[in-house]
Amino acid sequence: MMCELCGAEVPRTKLVSIEGTTLSVCPSCVKFGDESHVPLKKRPGVPPDIIRRLEARKRRMTTRDIYTTEGEEVLAEDFAERIRRARETRGWKQAELGAKINERVSIVAKVESGVMVPPDNLVRKLEKALEIKLKEKLQPTGAKKAAGPSRPLTLGDLMKVEEE
């Protein structure tokens, strides 16, 4: 057992009241308080509604894989250029494109300049209106192979890939 005051590992502890708190302490720390024969109070059980909320929170807060997986679609790096080119080939002004997709001209201008990365719903609108593809499948990398299927990718794996 461990003394709750000094942290020493001892075979036996005693209950002692120190400034209103009951602690389980070793024989050498008994002198700091008054020996108490009252057992430690048990905490009341957690109400069921709290348990339900904690379980729901745990489901929401599950760890997400920070590494993208193969075959996942991501926004193309040259999305701004693709949008601008497609708009110009149709002879539309930014205001016309904005009206067709029901967005402000400032949003269209920011997306075309690359200042703003469009959210998924805007990407879908742009793809449909301009008849272009803005998302592409992620290509597998050598780093994924370095990590192997049994463990996650580490910084050391990335360094090895860079050296090769």
Q: What is the pLDDT of residue 82?
A: 94
Q: What is the pLDDT of residue 42?
A: 54
Q: Is residue 161 part of a domain?
A: no
Q: Is residue 58 part of a domain?
A: no
Q: What is the pLDDT of residue 145?
A: 47
104: domain CATH number? 1.10.260.40
- pLDDT tens-place values along the chain, 164 residues long: 788 888 888 888 888 888 888 888 888 888 888 877 655 555 567 788 888 888 888 777 665 555 555 567 888 889 999 999 999 999 999 999 999 999 999 999 999 999 999 999 999 999 999 999 999 887 655 544 444 555 677 777 777 766 65
Q: Is residue 125 part of a domain?
A: yes
Pairing of strands 21-25, 14-18: antiparallel
Q: What is the pLDDT of residue 127?
A: 93
Are residue 78 and residue 36 in the same domain, yes or no? no
Residue 144 neighbours by CB under 8 Å, 6+ apart: 67, 70, 153
- HEC sequence for 54-112: HHHHHHHCCCCCCCCCCCCEEECCCHHHHHHHHHHHCCCCHHHHHHHHCCCHHHHHHHH
Q: Is residue 141 part of a domain?
A: no
Q: Is residue 10 part of a domain?
A: yes
Tokens for 131, please give them: 């008849």
Residue 36: domain span:
1-40
Are residue 33 and residue 80 in the same domain, yes or no? no
The domain total for the chain is 2
